[in-house]
Amino acid sequence: MKREALLLAAVEMFNSRGFPATSLDDVAASLNVTKPVIYRYLGSKDQVLLECVKRGLKQLQDAVASARLIDGRGLDRLKLFLHRYAEISTHGFGMCVHRTGDHELSVESRREFRALKREIDHEMRCLIEEGVADGSIYAPDVRMSAFALAGALNWIARWYAPDGPSTKTEVAAKIVETLVSGLEHRT
């Protein structure tokens, strides 16, 4: 439970202040613990950030797995994944993934972060390709389509405000509808 509380406090601060502006002392103080407690449960600041982004990327991997379980057209599976992706981008660990520049991580952590992000990109491309194959998606360049979708969804983490006029579910629905209307195959 302590480890979880420390991670939640850290991700909240990384998201609100930014990684460079957040010290482990700040995280420790927010929970009335000492800095050595963080080192004992989580390790260095780099290890804390890596754990936060790994959790966010795990949420995206779970979203892909859920999308793969539904029957229907490739476009339907892609929409489900994109909707979950958008929601994940609005808070916590998912937001941290998109607000973290890989330059903020050590060389070793950066490699792991990039490899996990490549897996998500690969899965998104597969979902697009499945839709192209079944005729439900028009994407003359799957790679560019995946980049465009991910870029738009990643940016949500920069502008979304939980206290704003739209809920994360409403934002996800509006963004996904806007994005996929350009991919849907027209007869």
CATH number of the domain that residue 159 is part of: 1.10.357.10
pLDDT band at 48 (very low <50, low <70, confident <90, very high): very high
Split into its structural domains, the chain has a count of 2
Instruction: Look at residue 187 in the predicted model and tell me its pLDDT.
Output: 63
pLDDT band at 178 (very low <50, low <70, confident <90, very high): confident
Give yes or no: residues 23 and 88 share one domain.
no
Whether the predicted pLDDT of 49 surpasses 70:
yes
Whether the predicted pLDDT of 183 surpasses 80:
no
Give yes or no: residues 83 and 128 share one domain.
yes
Name which of 82-86, 123-127, 183-187 the model is least confident about. 183-187
Mean pLDDT, range 72-79, rounded to an integer: 95
Give yes or no: residues 91 and 124 share one domain.
yes
Number of Cβ within a 10 Å radius of residue 154: 17
Give yes or no: residues 15 and 75 share one domain.
no
Mean pLDDT of the chain, nearest integer: 93
Instruction: Look at residue 180 in the predicted model and tell me its pLDDT.
Output: 85
Give yes or no: residues 7 and 62 share one domain.
no
Give yes or no: residues 109 and 156 share one domain.
yes
Spatial CA neighbour of 159 closest among 148, 177, 171: 171
Give yes or no: residues 108 and 164 share one domain.
yes
Spatial CA neighbour of 54 closest among 105, 118, 112: 112
Give yes or no: residues 55 and 134 share one domain.
yes
Q: 11 lies in which domain range?
A: 1-43
* 28 is a domain residue: yes
pTM of the predicted protein model: 0.90
